[in-house]
Structure 1
Amino acid sequence: MSSCGSPKDNSFVNFVNPYMNELKMHPKELLLKDGKVQVEDGRGPKGEGSLEARMEKLEEKVFRYKKMAEREVDIIHKINAELIGEHKNETAKLWGGIFSLHETTNKLQAQLYDKKNQNCEYETRFKRISSAASFRILETRSSFVDGEPFPLKSDDEKDSEPLKE
Structure 2
Amino acid sequence: MSLSEFTKQAIFEQWSFLAEATFELTAQGSSRAVYFVRASEHQFVLKFYAATTAIAQIHYEHSLLTFLDSAHLPFAIPVPLQTASGETFIVVEVDGQLLNAALLPRLVGHPMERRNRECQEFCVSQSWAQWDRRSGNSMAKRESACFQLGIGIVHRLAILVRAK
Give the TM-score normalised by the residue count of structure 1.
0.18
Between structure 1 and structure 2, the one with the greater Rg is 1
Give the TM-score normalised by the residue count of structure 2.
0.18
Q: As a proportion of its length, which structure holds more strand? A: 2
Which gives a bigger RCO, structure 1 or 2 (Cα 8 Å, sep 6+)? 2
Q: As a proportion of its length, which structure holds more helix? A: 1
